[in-house]
Amino acid sequence: MLDPVTAPALFDRQECARIVATAASGDFRPGGLVGGRRSENHRRADIHWLDETGEAGWVMNRLVEAAAEANRTSFGFTLDGFDERMQVASYDGGDGGHFDWHADIGDGPLAQRRKLTIVVQLTGDDDYEGGALELNPAGHVRAASRGQGDATLFPSFILHRVTPVTQGCRHSLTVWVHGPAFR
């Protein structure tokens, strides 16, 4: 079984705040689904894409190291790159921000190459209510760590969701590692 892996404290509090501030300096736009479709019943979040160079380059370097370690010790996938930018998502309790059950592999040219998903918790647990990242790797729902700066790494085919945020705002950082199709 390919259980999710937690990389505790991959980023510290100040680094999490710096990532959120970097994203906030740009435009947040309504998040969609694979293929650019939108459905507020399925996903209600605003997103901002970060480039792996420039101001956010240090973030990508840390994620590359975490992905390599988790893949070496837990997954053993054939991986060949990070073909998409990092995504910062904002789930606002004022409008019930959420993302219903889904897998990150899809029909798009990049989404079909996703092999490993990394989600970093950027907001402190006391700053929002609800908003749990839940994973269903084998018919048993498990909540991911809510520790600020903790990263959860899992195969992109695993069903997962973010439950509705009922108060406050939850920020997370997501990136995907790509490779040839699973066999």
- We report the CATH number of the domain holding residue 13 as 2.60.120.620
123 domain-assigned: yes
Q: Is residue 97 part of a domain?
A: yes
Confidence class of residue 29 from pLDDT cuts 50, 70 and 90? confident
Q: Residue 150 domain-assigned?
A: yes
Alpha-carbon separation of residue 182 from 12, 104, 151 (angstroms) = 34, 14, 23
Q: Please check whether residue 155 lies inside any domain of the structure.
A: yes
**Lowest-confidence segment of 18-22, 26-30, 45-49, 54-58 by average pLDDT:** 26-30
Confidence check: pLDDT of 102 > 80: yes
Tell me the average pLDDT of the chain.
91
- For the chain, how long is the longest CA-to-CA vector? 43
The answer to whether residue 36 is domain-embedded is: no
Is 133 among the domain residues? yes
Q: Residue 138: pLDDT band by 50, 70, 90 thresholds? A: confident
- Distance from C-alpha of 57 to C-alpha of 53, rounded to nearest angstrom: 4
**Domain assignment of residue 37, yes or no:** no
Query: What pTM was computed for the model?
Result: 0.93
Model confidence at 37: pLDDT above 60: no
Whether pLDDT at 35 is above 80: no
pLDDT in tens, 111-137: 999 999 999 999 999 999 999 999 999
Give residues with Cβ within 8 angstroms of 93, minimum separation 6. 128, 129, 130, 131, 165, 166, 167, 168, 169
Query: Which of 154, 151, 158, 132 has its CA nearest to residue 143?
Result: 132
Domain membership flag for residue 183: no
Among 136, 30, 113, 71, CA closest to 144: 136
Domain of residue 103 covers 5-31+43-178
What is the percent of the chain where pLDDT is above 70? 92
Number of domains in the chain: 1
Convert the pLDDT of each residue in 42-98 to its tens digit. 788 989 999 888 889 999 999 999 999 999 999 999 999 999 999 999 999 999 999
CA 38/CA 23 separation, integer angstroms: 21
